[in-house]
C-alpha cells in the first residue's frame, strides 16, 4: 500500500535544497520548500506536514529566540523536526533533551545514505502515529480524545436529552447454530461495517456491539442539532438496507437476516471505565428503555418511544403502538412505529433522501454525498458497455482515491474535497452513452442528477469545470481542476502502469483502433513525452520520477523491437 507524507524543508540555500530533493524524491515524499520560518509557518497552516527539516545555520536570531521559533512551528500538531547544520555540536544542542521539538539533526555536506536512513525512520514513526490516532478515534469519541490529550482524563458527564439506538437480528441464535464460525463472523462484519458508515453519515456515535446487538448514541458526544431526527434517519437507512438485502436473498433463494430497531431519548451519564482496557460507555434508564423498545419491536420494524416521537413527529410518518410494558423496570411507555420520512422533507418532495433544508437543520452538510456516490457507482456498474475495459468502474474509483490523496496533500478543505470526489465519480459517466467526446455527456448527467442530492448550482458549476478539464487539449485553470487531471493520469507514474495501459490498448482495439507492438509503444511515448504533464506540485513530486522511468523503459522496448526487424 502506497503511503505519502509532506516533508517541509526550511532553507534559503539553493544548493542545499537541490541536494535534499535529489536524495528524498520518490518513496511517497512530497517535498515542499520555504525560505524562512515565517514562510514555513504559512505552509504548515495550509497543509498537513509530517516532517520539517530546518537549517539552523546563519540565523540572525539569538540561540534562544531561534529555539523558541522552532518550538512554535506546528506546535499543535505532531510534526517531526530535524535540524540541518554544518556544525554537529549545534545540532546536538538542538536535540539535547528534546525540549524544543527537534528530535535529530543532519550535517552538511549531506551523506545520502545517512539522510535517507534517518528520514525513513521518522517516516515510519509518523505513519505509526497516524495509525495509532486512527485506532484511538475508532475507540473514543473526538471530545473524549481531546480531554484525554489535554487533561489526561475524561470526567463523567450527565446529558439530559441523549438518544440511544439499538438493533439486533431476529432469531440470530437459532440461525447462528447452523452457520460456520467464519461465515457467521463475516456476515456480522458485513452488516456492522455498513451500520458504522450510516452512523458516521449522520454524526452519531457507535458505542459497542454485544453479540448481534448494535448500540449507538446521539446528542452525547457531538455538538450538533436534532439528534433525534438524525438517529431516525439512520434507523430508516439501516431498515431499508436490510430490506434490500432480504429482497435480493429471496430472489436468489438464499437465507437472509431480519432486524429489529429501537430508539429512546432521555437523560444519560457518559464516561470512561476501566484502567487497562478502558472503554467509553453510557448508563441510565434511557439505555434500558431503548433496549426494551428494540426487543419489543417486530421484525423489520423500528419502534420509538414517545420522547423520541415528540421531537420528530413533524417530519416522519408514525404509527401508534399504544402503551408498552417495560419488563423488570416496571410501568408502561407509549411507543410508535417509525414508518417513513414525510414527502415534504424529502428531496423534490418524494423518495427517501432527506432534503437539504432538513439536513442543514440537523447540522449536516446539505450535500448527501454517500447516497450520490452509491447512485453513480451503481449506474456505472449497470450501464458501462462491456467493451469499455480501461474507463471502467475500477478506473473511476482509482481516480477518486488519487484525487482525494492529492487534495489532502495540497491542503484542500473538506467541502472542496467532496466536490472533487464528485467530479471524479462523474467524469467518465459519458462512456455509458458515447465513446468519443464523452465529457459533455458526463457534464449533462451531473447537471441532471446532482441537484437530487442537494448540490447547488454553484457547486455543480465547479464540478462540471473539473470534468471538462479532463477533455483532450484542455488546460486546467483552478487547483481543483489541476488535481482532477493529475488524478486521472496518476497511474502514469505508478508501478502498475503496464497493466492499466494494456487495458487501454484492448479498449482501443474494441473501438477499431488497432496498433502493432511498435505503433503501440510509439503511441504511448508520444502521449507521455509530448502531450501529458502533471500540473500540481504534489503530482510532480510523487509521480514525475515514475513517469520518467516508464518513458525510459518504453524507449528501450522500442529500440529492441526495431532492432529485431
pLDDT, tens only, 394-411: 999 999 999 999 999 999
Q: Domain tally for the chain?
A: 3
For the record, the C-alpha cell of 189 comes out as: 462484519
Mutual angle of helices 37-46 and 63-72, in 10-degree steps:
10
The confidence score (pLDDT) of residue 547 equals 96
Query: Rounded distance, CA 241 to CA 473, Å?
Result: 43
Specify whether 284 is located in the same domain as 232: yes
Indicate if the pLDDT at residue 98 is higher than 60.
no
Average pLDDT, the chain: 90
Specify whether 355 is located in the same domain as 387: no
CA distances 317 to 232, 237, 294, 298, 371, Å, are: 11, 15, 18, 17, 22
The one-character DSSP state at 3 is: -
CATH number of the domain enclosing 375 = 1.10.3210.10
Specify whether 52 is located in the same domain as 195: no
Specify whether 461 is located in the same domain as 447: yes
pLDDT digits (tens, 9 = 90+) for 218-266: 999 998 999 999 999 999 999 999 999 999 988 988 888 999 999 999 9
User: What contacts 150, CB < 8 A, 6 or more positions away?
Assistant: none
Which of 103, 138, 173 is at the close of a domain?
Answer: 138
Categorize the per-residue pLDDT at 351 as very low, low, confident or very high, splitting at 50, 70 and 90.
low
Specify whether 488 is located in the same domain as 550: yes
Instruction: Quote the percentage of the chain above a pLDDT of 90.
Output: 66
pLDDT digits (tens, 9 = 90+) for 297-343: 999 999 999 999 999 999 999 999 998 888 767 788 999 999 999 99
For the sheet with 51-55, list strands across it: 29-34, 5-10, 51-55, 80-85, 102-107
Specify whether 153 is located in the same domain as 56: no
CA distances 39 to 9, 43, 289, 400, Å, are: 11, 7, 57, 31
Q: Which ranges in 10-96 belong to alpha helices (H)?
A: 14-24, 37-46, 63-72, 88-95
Which of 111, 138, 165 is at the close of a domain?
Answer: 138
Query: Rounded distance, CA 482 to CA 242, Å?
Result: 41
Indicate if the pLDDT at residue 502 is higher than 80.
yes
Query: Rounded distance, CA 392 to CA 428, Å?
Result: 8
Specify whether 285 is located in the same domain as 155: yes
Specify whether 31 is located in the same domain as 63: yes
Specify whether 204 is located in the same domain as 350: yes
Which of 361, 394, 415 is at the close of a domain?
Answer: 361
- Could you tell me if 348 and 358 are in contact, meaning their C-beta atoms sit under 8 angstroms apart? no
Specify whether 288 is located in the same domain as 262: yes
Residue with cell 477499431: 512
Rounded to 10 degrees, what is the CA torsion of 120, 49, 425, 195?
Answer: 90
The confidence score (pLDDT) of residue 274 equals 75
Pairing of strands 51-55, 5-10: parallel
Domain encompassing residue 22? 5-138
CATH number of the domain enclosing 313 = 3.30.70.1230
pLDDT digits (tens, 9 = 90+) for 363-380: 999 999 998 999 999 999
The confidence score (pLDDT) of residue 332 equals 86
- Could you tell me if 108 and 84 are in contact, meaning their C-beta atoms sit under 8 angstroms apart? yes
CATH number of the domain enclosing 108 = 3.40.50.2300
Q: What is the mean pLDDT of residues 532-546?
A: 94
Indicate if the pLDDT at residue 63 is higher than 70.
no
Specify whether 92 is located in the same domain as 185: no
Higher-pLDDT residue of 97 and 192 is 192
The confidence score (pLDDT) of residue 258 equals 92
Specify whether 203 is located in the same domain as 239: yes
R_g of the chain computed on alpha carbons: 28
Residue among 92, 115, 104 at smallest CA distance from 19: 115
Categorize the per-residue pLDDT at 172 as very low, low, confident or very high, splitting at 50, 70 and 90.
confident
For the record, the C-alpha cell of 163 comes out as: 438518544
Amino acid at each position: 500500500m502506497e503511503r505519502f507524507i509532506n516533508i517541509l524543508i526550511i532553507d534559503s540555500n539553493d544548493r542545499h535544497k537541490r541536494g535534499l530533493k535529489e536524495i528524498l524524491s520518490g518513496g511517497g515524499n512530497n517535498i515542499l520548500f520555504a525560505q524562512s520560518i515565517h514562510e514555513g509557518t504559512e505552509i504548515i497552516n495550509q497543509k498537513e506536514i509530517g516532517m520539517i527539516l530546518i537549517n539552523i545555520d546563519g540565523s540572525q536570531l539569538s540561540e534562544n529566540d531561534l529555539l523558541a521559533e522552532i518550538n512554535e512551528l506546528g506546535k499543535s500538531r505532531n510534526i517531526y523536526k530535524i535540524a540541518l547544520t554544518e556544525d554537529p555540536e549545534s545540532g546536538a544542542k538542538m536535540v539535547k533533551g528534546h525540549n524544543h521539538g527537534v528530535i535529530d539533526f543532519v550535517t552538511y555536506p549531506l551523506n545520502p545514505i545517512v539522510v535517507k536512513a534517518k528520514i525513513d525512520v521518522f517516516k515510519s514513526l509518523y505513519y505509526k502515529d497516524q495509525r495509532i490516532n486512527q485506532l484511538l478515534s475508532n475507540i473514543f469519541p473526538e471530545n473524549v480524545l481531546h480531554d484525554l490529550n489535554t487533561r489526561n482524563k475524561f470526567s463523567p458527564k450527565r446529558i439530559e436529552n441523549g438518544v440511544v439506538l439499538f438493533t439486533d437480528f431476529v432469531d440470530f441464535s437459532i440461525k447462528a447454530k447452523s452457520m460456520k464460525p467464519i461465515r457467521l463472523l463475516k456476515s456480522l462484519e458485513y452488516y456492522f461495517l455498513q451500520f458504522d458508515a450510516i452512523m458516521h453519515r449522520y454524526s452519531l456515535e457507535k458505542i459497542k456491539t454485544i453479540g448481534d446487538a448494535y448500540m449507538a448514541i446521539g446528542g452525547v458526544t457531538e455538538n450538533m442539532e436534532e439528534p433525534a431526527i438524525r438517529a431516525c434517519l439512520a434507523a430508516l437507512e439501516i431498515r431499508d438496507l436490510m430490506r434490500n438485502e432480504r429482497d435480493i436473498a429471496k430472489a436468489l433463494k438464499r437465507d437472509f437476516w431480519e432486524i429489529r430497531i429501537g430508539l429512546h431519548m432521555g437523560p444519560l451519564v457518559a464516561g470512561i471505565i476501566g484502567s487497562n482496557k478502558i472503554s467509553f460507555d453510557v448508563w441510565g434508564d434511557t439505555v434500558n428503555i431503548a433496549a426494551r423498545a428494540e426487543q419489543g419491536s417486530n421484525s423489520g420494524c423500528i419502534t420509538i418511544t414517545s420522547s423520541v416521537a415528540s421531537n420528530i413527529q413533524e417530519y416522519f410518518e408514525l404509527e401508534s403502538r399504544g402503551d408498552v410494558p417495560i419488563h423488570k423496570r416496571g410501568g408502561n411507555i407509549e411507543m410508535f412505529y417509525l414508518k417513513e420520512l414525510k414527502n415534504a422533507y424529502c428531496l423534490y418532495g418524494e423518495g427517501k433522501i432527506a432534503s437539504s433544508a432538513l439536513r442543514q437543520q440537523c447540522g449536516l452538510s446539505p450535500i448527501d454525498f454517500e447516497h450520490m456516490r452509491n447512485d453513480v457507482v451503481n449506474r456505472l456498474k449497470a450501464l458501462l458497455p462491456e467493451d469499455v475495459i480501461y474507463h471502467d468502474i475500477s478506473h473511476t474509483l482509482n481516480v477518486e482515491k488519487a484525487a482525494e490523496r492529492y487534495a489532502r496533500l495540497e491542503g484542500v478543505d473538506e467541502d472542496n474535497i467532496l466536490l472533487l470526489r464528485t467530479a471524479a465519480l462523474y467524469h467518465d459517466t459519458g462512456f455509458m452513452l458515447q465513446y468519443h467526446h464523452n465529457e459533455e455527456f458526463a457534464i449533462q448527467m451531473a447537471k441532471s442528477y446532482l441537484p437530487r442530492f442537494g448540490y447547488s448550482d454553484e457547486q455543480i458549476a465547479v464540478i462540471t469545470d473539473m470534468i471538462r478539464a479532463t477533455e483532450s487539449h484542455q488546460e486546467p485553470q483552478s487547483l481543483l481542476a489541476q488535481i482532477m487531471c493529475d488524478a486521472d493520469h496518476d497511474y502514469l507514474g505508478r508501478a502498475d502502469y503496464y497493466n492499466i495501459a494494456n487495458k487501454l490498448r484492448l479498449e482501443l482495439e474494441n473501438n477499431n483502433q488497432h496498433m502493432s507492438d511498435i505503433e503501440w509503444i510509439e503511441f504511448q511515448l508520444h502521449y507521455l513525452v509530448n502531450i501529458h504533464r502533471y500540473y500540481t506540485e504534489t503530482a510532480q513530486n510523487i509521480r514525475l520520477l515514475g513517469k520518467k522511468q516508464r518513458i525510459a523503459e518504453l524507449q528501450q522496448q522500442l529500440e529492441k523491437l526495431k532492432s529485431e526487424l
